[in-house]
Structure 1
Amino acid sequence: MHALAAEFQKTFTTRMWWLLAILLVGYVALLAGGFGAFLGWAIDDPEAAAAAGGAGGPPLPVGADPAPLVYSFATSIGYVFPVLLGTLAVTGEFRHRTLTPTFLATPKRGVVLTGKLVSQIVIGALFGVLGFAASVGAGAGALAAFGVDTGLDSSDTWAMIGRGILAMALWAAIGVGLGSVVPNQVAAIVIVIAFTQFVEPVLRLMASLSDLTAEIGKFLPGAASDALVGASFYSIASVGTSVSLEWWQGGLVLAGYAALLSLIGGLTTWRGDVS
């Protein structure tokens, strides 16, 4: 409990957590509001939307519910923020050389790593609440402006939001695991941004081109996260075959990534000498 309290204090006494939270809220609100307005216009004026879609038809598949697609921007786009915070919680100790007094205060290094995991899971869930507050607030407002059902009276919508908050918590744990494997802060940040913004989206697009690769691609962390949440912008942006896990399977895959990275880091870097 002392180690856990120390980890919360380390996070909340710095500016990084609320700077990332502000960026998360602003980024998600902008994208969700803009996409919600676009879908609202497409539903309100389907002929114009079909014409704008050209040969590809309307931008929204027939029968698709627009509200979950808009609200899920909190996770499908915003998940990079809890990953970054979780990574910085570990790599910051190496960069600023505070790991030595941390280990002196708590000699059992496994306890320290567990404290970081638990604290970041809680803070990741907080980021999930903030992200969905932004996406639901901006997205529902945009949909309502065009007379589109916001789905806020549906239990399925709130279940999706709950799963999304869980996904954000698991992403923060993945960040901790990555930071324990790659203690260099600059390298870890580059890996997070490059993988989440470029590498995985390309891999998911390529995986959808055939049935065989689609079966493999569904185990990518972003795909597992979308499966857990149950909705994603990528579901209408992908081409070819679209295959996804069950929501609980997606959660297990995300938790597996966090556990595997943390185990590798705990057995390697975390056991090394610090100075």
Structure 2
Amino acid sequence: MNLVRSELLKIRTTSTWWWLALGAFVSIALAFAFNAWYAVTVLGGDGAEFGASAQQSTPAAQAANIYTSGQYLGLMFVMLIGILMVTNEFFHQTATTTFLTTPRRTSVIVGKLVAASLLGFFFWLVTTLIDLAAGTIFLSLNDYGTQLGEWPVQRALLFNLLAYAIWTVLGVGIGTLITNQLGAVITAAVLYLIGTQVVGLLFLLLSNVLDSEAVLKWQVIWPAVASQVMIAEGTSEFTPSWWVGALVLIGYALVSGVVGVLLTRRRDIA
């Protein structure tokens, strides 16, 4: 617990997380506005124009989408926090002091993983409270009700929490793999933002080559896609079930945590 508290102190005493929190807030505002417009369009009977299935055209499905607004960029921001928790040690040359104070490197990384998960929970809590406040007002004014008693909405909120916790863990894993702070941040951001679009394009081309739309379901192997799949309500021929996305993301978290511990135990710290 002392290691966890020290990691949280390191984050609180820097201004970086404030900037990331501000970015998350802006992304929520933009995403909520779009999701609200989309919900009105789909629930108004025009969902077919946007490829929405029957399951996705229900008030519960759209409420789940509204209550998780801002997830896409929010997950990137918590991933960057996880990266900074590790790379700051090398950037500010405090890694030697940290590992001399706590020679058991596994304990240090586990402390960072736990602290990262707590930060992920904090970001999820704040963003969810904002979404709930705005979402309940919006849905009630449009006579759809809050939909909070529906399981699809509850599942989306719970698995959104899982996504935030896992992406901070993934950030710690990336930080142990690429210790250069600038390199790790740029690489992770590019892979998340641009890589996701590239993966979608590649699978679209592959489906055309193989003449099989079922190939599109395999996009779920990309973690950013898996995060969206596991909170979405309703499946189609292009989207796997929500539990597939959850299993993929949990697998990434386990691999990332193990790799982070092994790399740190073997690495020479000057």
User: What amino acid sits opposite 2:49 in the alignment?
Assistant: G
1:228 aligns to 2:224 (yes or no) = no
Residue 73 of structure 1 corresponds to: 69
Residue 57 of structure 1 corresponds to: 49
Tell me if structure 1 keeps the 8 A contact 2:196–2:225: no
C-alpha distance in structure 2 between counterparts of 1:256 and 1:5, whole Å = 27
Tell me if structure 2 keeps the 8 A contact 1:167–1:225: yes
Residue 53 of structure 1 corresponds to: none
Residue 20 of structure 1 corresponds to: 20
Unaligned segments of structure 2, at least 5 residues? none
Task: State percent identity of aligned pairs.
Answer: 28
Residue 30 of structure 2 corresponds to: 30
Residue 7 of structure 1 corresponds to: 7
Residue 251 of structure 1 corresponds to: 246
CA RMSD of aligned residues (A): 2.7
User: What amino acid sits opposite 2:108 in the alignment?
Assistant: V
1:268 aligns to 2:263 (yes or no) = yes
Q: Deviations over 1:88-126 (max 9, x none)?
A: 111111111111111111011111001000110111111
Tell me if structure 1 keeps the 8 A contact 2:169–2:256: no
C-alpha distance in structure 2 between counterparts of 1:245 and 1:219, whole Å = 13
C-alpha distance in structure 2 between counterparts of 1:143 and 1:198, whole Å = 33
Cα shift at 1:134: 2.7
Relative to structure 2, which stretch is displaced further, 82-91 or 67-76? 67-76
1:35-184 pair list within 5 angstroms: 35-40=35-40, 43-44=43-44, 46=45, 57=49, 60-63=52-55, 64=57, 65-184=61-180
Unaligned segments of structure 1, at least 5 residues? 51-55
Tell me if structure 2 keeps the 8 A contact 1:41–1:146: no
Q: TM-score, normalised by structure 1?
A: 0.82
Cα shift at 1:225: 1.7
Q: TM-score, normalised by structure 2?
A: 0.84
C-alpha distance in structure 1 between counterparts of 2:260 and 2:158, whole Å = 29
C-alpha distance in structure 1 between counterparts of 2:217 and 2:50, whole Å = 27
C-alpha distance in structure 1 between counterparts of 2:10 and 2:41, whole Å = 46
Partner-residue secondary structure (3-state), 1:229: coil
1:39–1:203 distance in 2 versus 1, CA, 3 Å: same
C-alpha distance in structure 2 between counterparts of 1:274 and 1:28, whole Å = 39
Cα shift at 1:41: 5.0
Aligned length: 260
Tell me if structure 2 keeps the 8 A contact 1:33–1:135: no
User: What amino acid sits opposite 2:258 in the alignment?
Assistant: L
Cα shift at 1:269: 5.1
